[in-house]
Structure 1
Amino acid sequence: MAKKTAAKKQKSMEETLWDSANKLRGTVESSEYKHVVLSLIFLKFASDKFENHKEKLIEKGLEQFAEMTEFYAKDSVFFLPEETRWSYIISKAKQNDLAIIIDTALTTIEKKNPTLKGALPDNYFSRLNMEPSKLAALVDTINNIDTLKDQQQDVVGRVYEYFLGKFALAEGKGKGEFYTPKSIVNLIAEMIEPYKGIIYDPACGSGGMFVQSIKFIESHHGNKKEVSIYGQEQTATTYKLAKMNLAIRGISANMGAVPADTFGRDQHPDLKADFIMANPPFNQKDWRGPNELTDDPRWRGYDVPPTGNANYGWILNMVSKLSANGVAGFILANGALSGGGEEYKIRRKLIENRLVEAILVLPMRMFYTTDISVTLWILNNNKQARIIEQNGVVKNYRDRQDEILFMDLRRLGVPFEKKFIQLSTEEVQKVAYTFHTWQQNSFETDYSDVAEFCYSASIEDVQAKDYSLVPSKYIEFINRDENIDFDEKMAQLKIEFTDLLRAEAQSKNDLLNVFKELGYAIEL
């Protein structure tokens, strides 16, 4: 028994914090509770940064300036008045009006720091009516985070990202649209390589695409100051999440003046982006009225996207925002690969205009909100020969304008959170390497078609398939039925069946408790 305990994997800081905080949730829905937890993490982080900067000012003999906003803003540190600092919050943690104190602190910080305008929750803590004791316990839990312990490891960013992912899992199917799984975002970044220029996300959720873009730049020794970020988000609470998520990492972004619908109120009508990364809502219905947006400039040169599905509305919105050499990587439901009607006409023109560069089918069960298989599209406004300089190294990408690379990643992926799949770091690198090797198209590289993985199709091939972009129509498959891993399928079914039985047992127990509380105990 002792050996088993010793061998048991030690929980990470993020896991420990999640376990502690999640027990305190009680009757508050996770869709609401995430704003409480993440706001407190932000408050603790901002306060730690403030106190650290204040100490440095005092050490330099500048104590008389230690309460002046300007001496913090110039170093991208948020200025916090006395009543907003974490030490003050902790000192009041046992009071019944703790929720009001926290709400007041967040409002005051936002007023004192213009870059946080619209980022922090407004009277959220008071409105949720959390029990004072539970809120105090949550504050104690957040107090355990040493946000400045390791600057290189981005401690608070890790915690924030972990909590966002866990909340997306907790909210489940039909909810959690604010979060795109990290390995998918990594894959997009590695493929389109957003080193320098303008990055845009028309449905940015909590800002994950932007965070991973900056991480990509830093990991490849680039300069994040050479990137400008533009985004848009419709849901007000998610808009705030994104602004907090970026602020917590010191990333500045233009998110538009207010949360707004990208189609009905485009916040960046004249934008031309060098890189677009997006995970817009899948198969969005009734996104415009029958007579609305029919002459929108974003559709110019193409048919008007159908009212019953916004997929091609999102595609054309992104096409209209691409700069002359712009590249887009985005996720869509597989139905967009072969739809008829207006979708067919738009897709045909995109292909004929040589915009479609690559189509990748992703593994199933990667998303927390849906179990369907989805597709990663790469659009490129300049597929012709071009020279790119990255960190002093010149790369010559030769002409692939008359070809489209198809990839099938459904055989890739490693288990994650029991019933989900994610791409490993090695798999992301493998896919990106294959794409860039194909892109370079030189005698020095070794791209070749691989059965059940990738195929470079000519435009004539695609025309012969009536402009279908379904990868399985092009990639060779061998012994398809023999490729089914029976043990893997049974293991997955076992997990799902176990979850169903546990849920049923819990429902039965809850029902018995209800009768018991009413004075009608049931003996089974």
Structure 2
Amino acid sequence: MSTKTSTPSSPKELKDTLWKAADKLRGSMAASQYKDVVLGLVFLKYVSDAFDERRAEIAAELEGEDTTFIEETLEDPDEYAGSHAFWVAPEARWSFIADNAKGRKNSATDDPATVGDLIDAAMRTLARDNTALEGTLPTMYGRENIDQRRLGELVDLFNSAQFAGAGATQARDLLGEVYEYFLDKFAKAEGKRGGEFYTPPALVRTLVEILEPYNGRIYDPCCGSGGMFVQAEKFLERHDQDPTQLAVYGQELNEQTWRMAKMNLAIHGIDAKGLSSRWGDTFARDYHADKQMDFVLANPPFNIKDWARREDDPRWRYGVPPVRNANYAWMQHILSKLTVQGEAAVVMANGTMASNTGGEGQIRANMVEDGVVSCVIAMPPNLFRSVAIPVCVWFFAKDKGSGARGSWDRRGETLFIDAREMGHMVDRVERTFSDEDIETIANTFRTWRGRSSAKGEYEDVPGFCKSVKTQEIEKAGYAMTPGRYVGAPEAPEDTEPIEEKIARLTTELTAALDESARLDAVVREQLRRLK
């Protein structure tokens, strides 16, 4: 295993270099296992960095004290509690793994220990010493199907890379970026299945900027790898607010994805106590049944046909969802979780806006009449790399009256935004939003609600947004498709004088006819040669 590795100079170079190195491990591994191996390694590096930072702080605080006392204090697990650092025993520290990756004996078999054996042992030790990590960390690094030489090279690269030059706090920020970068890469690599654990950050940012979750409880009933929570924390950072004012609650059905979420939140310094104690189906068992939430952000799996449905479930306030589709079950579950001033944003399949199958039309009508739908946004296609179809976002609010969440009384109204033409293509299959796009959409909602953060005053914009009375929605059969209400954009005013326009169009048409004649002659000549 090589010990000399040049250090990339920029965050982008670092992320790209680490990904290329990690990609060497893929080999015969299944994509899901490969993902666990790499993300687990990123997490282990984070844990050690955070521990080392706290260790340095303790040493600085005790400067001048007795040497023996300092050494004992530095090895006291209680000194690390409550400081966003896990206790890391000596044999689980990154430095120990890097220093002993070659030539150490396996204590159980007396055989030479591989770097994978050392990492597995470190993971078990971490989980044993920190109850919050119990059942979370992967332990498959010593298996035969993992190339130990390449795993060692990846450890070397992580060891030599300078994550930050001014302390482990910046290192953790960069490690968080690396983790998100890897999640994005894995989602793209896994195709459609990748969308199960990863929602594009640009889409999540849009939802967060609209909800503006400054404090309270924030919940995701199908939290994937925890991206909604990470973006909520970043929102608070952008606005210089204390992230600890937001308590995170979530649940995830898939075991591996639940583990990813636990690690992702830890890397970003987010308290994950509110994440369910284990993975599980939200419909079958709501781990947070006793809690009401101030904000809900969710991207549920679309159109689930096989789900834990019970007709007498008290969550079905607006109607029992159909047997073969859980879309309206998700929406009603989320509505049932909101406090009296709670708000939610839910990414949904476009079919939810107009479907009448299995009583969905009546459920939708009941929600609209009860005044809990505040906004529907039609999103452009290709936001999800693995799914080309467009999606929509439903925004719910228990109270749309004038108050703490907005100065405009919007009871009896719903805002429709048609954002289908917004964004730009990153490549031929993926679209994203620019910062300006996100601000345009979010500020439209803020002005409509009369938020203090709004810039300007709300007004309907043909082809883009319209505030619609409930009576008009009723006349449209409770269809919630924004394009139905916002209409077509106004045509730009034509200021070209008629004489100049005729002359210009005549010239352009003549040139087009000449080119057509030339091409016709070329085609005829080629056909003649074929005879």
Instruction: Give TM class, smaller chain.
Output: 0.7 to 0.9
Aligned match for 2:145, one of 126, 129, 132: 129
CA RMSD in angstroms comes to: 2.2
Aligned to 1:208: 227
Equivalent positions of 1:365-384 (< 5 A) are: 365-384=382-401
Kindly, what percent of the aligned residue pairs are identical? 41
Q: One-letter code of the match for 2:242?
A: N
**Rounded Cα–Cα distance in structure 2 between residues aligned with 1:109 and 1:68:** 15
Q: One-letter code of the match for 1:146?
A: Q
Structure 1 residue 66 displacement after superposition: 0.9
Residue 325 of structure 1 aligns to a residue whose secondary structure is strand
- TM-score w.r.t. length of structure 1: 0.84
**Rounded Cα–Cα distance in structure 2 between residues aligned with 1:135 and 1:92:** 14
Aligned to 1:68: 76
CA shift digits 1:295-325 (9 cap, x unpaired)? 11211x3211111111001001101100010
**Rounded Cα–Cα distance in structure 1 between residues aligned with 2:319 and 2:350:** 20
Residue 125 of structure 1 aligns to a residue whose secondary structure is coil
Q: One-letter code of the match for 2:436?
A: E
Residue 404 of structure 2 aligns to a residue whose secondary structure is strand
Residue 387 of structure 1 aligns to a residue whose secondary structure is coil
Residues 57 and 63 of structure 1 are in contact (CA less than 8 Å); yes or no, is this contact kept in structure 2? no
Aligned to 1:38: 39
Residue 426 of structure 1 aligns to a residue whose secondary structure is helix
Residues 464 and 489 of structure 2 are in contact (CA less than 8 Å); yes or no, is this contact kept in structure 1? no
The structure-2 alpha-carbon separation of the partners of 1:47 and 1:406, relative to structure 1 and needing over 3 Å to count, comes to same
Q: One-letter code of the match for 1:247?
A: A
Aligned length: 460
- TM-score w.r.t. length of structure 2: 0.83
Structure 1 residue 429 displacement after superposition: 0.8
Asked if 1:98 is matched to 2:98, the reply is no
Aligned to 1:454: 465
Aligned match for 1:434, one of 424, 441, 444: 444
Residues 377 and 419 of structure 2 are in contact (CA less than 8 Å); yes or no, is this contact kept in structure 1? yes
Residues 49 and 148 of structure 1 are in contact (CA less than 8 Å); yes or no, is this contact kept in structure 2? no
Aligned to 2:281: 261
Asked if 1:229 is matched to 2:245, the reply is no
Residue 143 of structure 1 aligns to a residue whose secondary structure is helix
In structure 2, stretches of 5+ residues that fail to align are 1-9, 64-69, 104-112, 492-531
**Rounded Cα–Cα distance in structure 2 between residues aligned with 1:405 and 1:240:** 37
In structure 1, stretches of 5+ residues that fail to align are 1-8, 389-395, 481-524
Aligned to 1:57: 58
Aligned match for 2:327, one of 284, 307, 311: 311
The structure-2 alpha-carbon separation of the partners of 1:104 and 1:417, relative to structure 1 and needing over 3 Å to count, comes to farther
Asked if 1:199 is matched to 2:210, the reply is no
Please identify, of 146-155 and 271-280, the stretch whose mean Cα deviation from structure 2 is larger: 146-155
Aligned to 1:167: 186
Residues 184 and 423 of structure 1 are in contact (CA less than 8 Å); yes or no, is this contact kept in structure 2? yes
**Rounded Cα–Cα distance in structure 2 between residues aligned with 1:473 and 1:241:** 40
The structure-2 alpha-carbon separation of the partners of 1:149 and 1:180, relative to structure 1 and needing over 3 Å to count, comes to farther
The structure-2 alpha-carbon separation of the partners of 1:19 and 1:68, relative to structure 1 and needing over 3 Å to count, comes to same
Aligned to 2:409: 399
CA shift digits 1:448-505 (9 cap, x unpaired)? 211221111111110010000011111112599xxxxxxxxxxxxxxxxxxxxxxxxx
Aligned match for 1:77, one of 82, 85, 101: 85
Task: Spell out structure 1 runs of 4+ moving beyond 6 A.
Answer: 441-444
Aligned to 2:420: 410
Structure 1 residue 294 displacement after superposition: 1.1
Residue 406 of structure 1 aligns to a residue whose secondary structure is strand
**Rounded Cα–Cα distance in structure 1 between residues aligned with 2:451 and 2:148:** 63
Residue 472 of structure 1 aligns to a residue whose secondary structure is helix
Aligned to 1:21: 22
Residue 298 of structure 1 aligns to a residue whose secondary structure is coil
Q: One-letter code of the match for 2:306?
A: D
**Rounded Cα–Cα distance in structure 2 between residues aligned with 1:209 and 1:13:** 25
Q: One-letter code of the match for 1:259?
A: W
**Rounded Cα–Cα distance in structure 2 between residues aligned with 1:422 and 1:128:** 40
Q: One-letter code of the match for 1:93?
A: A
The structure-2 alpha-carbon separation of the partners of 1:398 and 1:93, relative to structure 1 and needing over 3 Å to count, comes to same
Q: One-letter code of the match for 1:81?
A: A
Structure 1 residue 445 displacement after superposition: 4.2
Structure 1 residue 74 displacement after superposition: 3.4
CA shift digits 1:368-424 (9 cap, x unpaired)? 331110001110111011135xxxxxxx52201111111111111122254200111
Aligned to 2:199: 180
Structure 1 residue 28 displacement after superposition: 1.7
Residue 304 of structure 1 aligns to a residue whose secondary structure is coil
Residues 24 and 137 of structure 1 are in contact (CA less than 8 Å); yes or no, is this contact kept in structure 2? no
Asked if 1:218 is matched to 2:226, the reply is no
Residues 18 and 163 of structure 1 are in contact (CA less than 8 Å); yes or no, is this contact kept in structure 2? yes
